Amino acid sequence: MIIPDANLLIYAHDERSVFHRKAHAWWKSTLGGTEPIGIPWVVILAFTRLMTHPQICENPLGIKETRGIVLHWLSFPHVRLLQVSDHAVSRFFDLLDQAGSGGNLSTDALIALHALEQSATVYSSDLDFGRFAGVRRVDPLQKGT
**Rounded distance between C-alpha atoms, residue 13 and residue 120, angstroms:** 23
pTM above 0.85, yes or no: yes
- Burial-class residue 75 by CB neighbours within 10 Å (0-12, 13-18, 19+): exposed
Walk along the chain (145 residues) in steps of 10 and give the mean pLDDT of each run.
Answer: 98 93 98 98 96 87 96 98 89 90 87 96 96 95 77
Given this model, what pLDDT does residue 139 score?
98
Given this model, what pLDDT does residue 56 score?
82
CA angle 5-33-12, nearest 5°?
40
Class of domain 2-138: alpha beta
CA angle 76-29-60, nearest 5°?
75
Given this model, what pLDDT does residue 22 score?
97
Given this model, what pLDDT does residue 81 score?
97
Domain locations along the chain:
2-138
C-alpha 48: how far from chain center: 12
Given this model, what pLDDT does residue 85 score?
84
Contact 3, 82 (CB under 8 A): yes
